[in-house]
Amino acid sequence: MEYLYAPWRDTYFKEKVDGCVFCNLSNHPHLDTMHHVLYRDEICFIVMNRYPYSAGHFMVIPHYHTDALENLDEQAWLHMSHIIQQCVKMLKIGLEAQGVNLGMNLGKSAGAGIAEHIHYHIIPRWIGDTNFITTVANTRVYSTDFEKIYQTLKDLIPEFISC
């Protein structure tokens, strides 16, 4: 799929990491702004998706490295579920999203782009946010500046996300 406007992606191609990309994000909190991390605590972190389906698409990711949801500690799963619930509220109220897609792709065969480390997608949606160009031209139109939506969400986090 092609993007009409995605200047932030050049960093992704220049920035190669050894090992798991999500563990790299987890282990380098001093680089949170550069990596577009929105929030972190001792169990998980929230980071913007570099390949968004719509403006404001982000992921909740446990610090614990696993490719199997069933191996994630139950308390970590409950904590992440609590964070995800607060994220949905943030998107609906703070970003005025009309709907939200939630999901995990567990394994390469299920569509996971980074299959070695589980992660939960949270995607704000609006009526009319997709159109024929995605189907006909295999192109996705991103309706706002990536840095702007990152800063908007970052500013909303303290109001909506708490442990």
Q: What residues are annotated to the active site?
A: 119
Find where tokens 């969400």 sit.
153
Distance (Å, whole) CA 111 – CA 118: 12
- 109's CB contacts (< 8 A; 6+ apart) are none
- CA-to-CA distance for 95 and 75, rounded, in angstroms? 29
CB 61 within 8 A of CB 119: yes
